[in-house]
């Protein structure tokens, strides 16, 4: 299972990369807007820092604008994946970009049929947003399970990126379902290492070691 980090913050990307947890990066306009500085420089720096796919999102709403933006975005590095919103214009753009060999990730997926048509249009990745579905009283992981079944039924090669992850349970469930990728905020990556029994066990090992040395 691949881990992407869901951030445009270079410090977080660097710290997670030191842990071996960064197979790729996802950004979106909101994440970019949180950072100080020119987004173009940030995007270029992320592409230099990370070897794996770096997802950068278009702003245009019409297919031809999306295609023009995609051609600009791929200039940031050979590893750029263009994020396209799940709209009819988006599907038109994905279909054309596929023919141009420009990889795409269809974002803002909230239903299994959206994922089906994204795969048919030629998307390389889809991003179901599990946390936002949970927020409105649905079970986001059910969507991931449905998409994986559909892709398996028909042999689609589109990879599933579980997005809008809020907790370590989302990461666990993604892995149990066999999702290709989880894109995880840095805060949750840090939580993945923690367990109260690990802390307790470590503390007692160190206490026992100290008391042994005091006896000498
Ligand atoms: C994924 O590509 C998105 O950037 C992201 O996961 C959205 O998450 P949010 O619902 O926490 O904003």
Residues 152-203: pLDDT tens digits? 999 999 999 999 999 999 999 999 999 999 999 999 999 999 999 999 999 9
Asked if pLDDT for residue 15 goes beyond 90, the answer is yes
* Contact in structure between 102 and 79 (CB atoms under 8 Å): no
| CA distance readout (Å), 158 to 15, 49, 123 | 29, 25, 6
**CA 163–ligand 1 middle distance (angstroms):** 5
* Opening angle at CA 7, ends 123 and 77, nearest 5: 60
Counting residues of the chain whose pLDDT is more than 90, the rounded percentage is 99
HSE on the CB side for 56, CA within 13 Å? Answer: 25
Structural domains of the chain, count = 1
* Contact in structure between 57 and 80 (CB atoms under 8 Å): no
**CA 65–ligand 1 middle distance (angstroms):** 23
pTM of the prediction? 0.96
CATH code of the domain containing 208: 3.20.20.70
Residues 114-128: pLDDT tens digits? 999 999 999 999 999
Domain limits at 41?
Answer: 2-214
* Contact in structure between 26 and 83 (CB atoms under 8 Å): yes
Tell me the residue ranges of DSSP E strands in 15-174.
24-26, 54-57, 80-85, 104-109, 125-128, 159-162
State the pLDDT confidence band at 138, using cuts at 50, 70 and 90. Answer: very high
| Probe residue for ligand 1, chosen from 32, 105, 138, 163 as the CB with the greatest number of ligand atoms within 8 Å | 163
Asked if pLDDT for residue 9 goes beyond 90, the answer is yes
Ligand 1 atom showing the smallest separation from residue 30 Cα:
12
**CA 204–ligand 1 middle distance (angstroms):** 39
Asked if pLDDT for residue 215 goes beyond 90, the answer is no
- Averaged pLDDT score across all residues of the chain: 98
Q: Which helix (H) or strand (E) holds 44?
A: helix 39-49
Distance separating alpha carbons of residues 203 and 93, to the nearest angstrom: 56
Give the residue whose CA is nearest to atom 11 of ligand 1.
Answer: 164
CA 199 to chain centre: 29
Counting residues of the chain whose pLDDT is more than 70, the rounded percentage is 100
Q: Active-site residue numbers?
A: 83
Residues 73-123: pLDDT tens digits? 999 999 999 999 999 999 999 999 999 999 999 999 999 999 999 999 999
Asked if pLDDT for residue 216 goes beyond 80, the answer is no
Distance separating alpha carbons of residues 20 and 164, to the nearest angstrom: 21
* Opening angle at CA 163, ends 81 and 154, nearest 5: 75
pLDDT of res. 106: 99
Asked if pLDDT for residue 132 goes beyond 90, the answer is yes
Does ligand 1 have an atom closer than 6 angstroms to the CB of 107? yes
SS3 content of the chain, % helix, strand, coil (to 5): 55, 20, 25
């Amino acid at each position: 299972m691949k881990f992407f980090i869901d951030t445009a913050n270079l410090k977080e990307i660097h710290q997670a990369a030191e842990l071996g947890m960064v197979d790729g990066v996802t950004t979106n306009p909101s994440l970019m807007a949180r950072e100080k500085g020119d987004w173009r420089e940030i995007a270029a720096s992320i592409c230099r820092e990370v070897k794996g796919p770096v997802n950068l999102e278009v702003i245009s709403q019409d297919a031809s604008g999306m295609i023009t933006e995609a051609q600009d975005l791929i200039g940031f590095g050979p590893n750029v994946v263009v994020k396209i919103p799940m709209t009819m214009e988006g599907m038109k753009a994905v279909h054309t970009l596929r023919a141009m060999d420009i990889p795409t990730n269809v974002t803002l997926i909230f239903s299994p049929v959206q994922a089906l048509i994204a795969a048919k249009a030629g998307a390389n990745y889809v991003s179901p947003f599990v946390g936002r579905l949970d927020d409105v009283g649905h079970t986001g992981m059910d969507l991931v399970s449905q998409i994986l079944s559909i892709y398996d039924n028909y042999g689609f090669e589109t990879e599933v990126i579980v997005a809008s992850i809020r907790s370590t349970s989302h990461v666990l469930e993604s892995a149990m379902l066999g999702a290709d990728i989880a894109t995880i905020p840095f805060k949750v990556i840090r939580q993945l290492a923690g367990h109260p029994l690990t802390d307790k066990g470590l503390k007692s090992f160190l206490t026992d070691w100290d008391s042994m040395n005091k006896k000498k």
